[in-house]
Amino acid sequence: MKKFFGIIGGLAISAFGVVAFVLPNDILVGGATGLGRVAYYYAGMPISATIAAVNIVMFIIGLAIMGKKFAATIVVSTFAYPLLIDFYGRIPGITNLTDDKMIAAIFGGVLLGAGIGFVIRLGASTGGTDIPPIILNYKFGIPVGITMYAIDFAVLLTQVPFAKMEDILLGILMTMICSIVINKVMMAGSGDTQVMVISNEFDKIQDKLNEMIIGVTVLYGRTGYLGKDQEVLMCIVPGRELNRVKEAIQLIDPKAFMTISSIREVSGLGFSFGRRNVKKLRQERKAEM
């Protein structure tokens, strides 16, 4: 339930940014919302309807490539996001928060990035054109923010024929801000995360992490008070995997002692080689199952 409400909260933040700042000021926007603007201009189709259609198509693609578990996380976004767009659009005065397009572009980019980044950090997706970057990140390790920026920029180009030059430039600025915020929210200001685990269910947790293809180092320590020998698990986890690892550990041992620390850089043969091959190993294990 916490994850569900977290996803809804992230979607609500993004939808608010779109309705309150982006659409009223005619700022070009990427993703499914940008495609919605194109459909509205040429065919008069409601933006929320286009977003819903794009989300459904991307949902099918995500299901085919990433599997049922990932698709389940998109179900909420597929239907909730266009509904939130429509809901905010019915609130009086929400479109009159500012007439300054620069302020609108900045706040729109920040809110969009914060909402999308928060949802992706929970292991879900806002649906629509946010799904291809996640697939590319999973398959090839390409940063989500970079691919998302490329797709959004392409969608921006489709709106050029009916947009002013000022709106185009503000749209590019907003997209850049959105991409930066997404990466900051996902990674919490750093690259990977170090997780240290102490638990009496040491063996089960280690087996589970190995099953998830999460690299684990076993350290041997001793408790300070009782002087009891105690194994300590250490693993380096990408930002997007952190929530999944925490949930797996807490399911085995709700009382497990964990410390989670942000780290600036990780390098070396053991880490770099493993990171490049982890996706291949996961695919092989999935095929065996």
CB 74 within 8 A of CB 127: yes
The whole-angstrom separation of Cα 289 and Cα 279 is: 15
pLDDT exceeds 90 at position 160: no
pTM: predicted TM-score of the whole model, two decimal places: 0.59
d(CA 126, CA 109): 15
State pLDDT tens for residues 179-193: 888 877 876 544 578
**49-53, 56-60, 145-149, range with the lowest pLDDT:** 145-149
Q: In what order do the strands lie in the sheet with 217-222?
A: 217-222, 229-237, 193-198, 257-262
In whole angstroms, give the CA distance from residue 278 to residue 289. Answer: 17
What local confidence, expressed as pLDDT, does residue 103 receive? 93
CA pair distance 67, 84, nearest whole angstrom: 26
Could you name the CATH architecture of 193-288? 2-Layer Sandwich (3.30)
Query: Which residue ranges make up each domain of the chain?
Result: 2-187, 193-288
Return the closest-CA partner of residue 3 out of 120, 87, 97.
120
User: Mind listing the pLDDT tens digit for each residue in 3-52?
Assistant: 788 888 988 999 999 899 988 888 887 788 888 888 888 888 888 888 88
What torsion do the CA atoms of 251, 256, 261, 262 make, to the nearest 10 degrees? -10
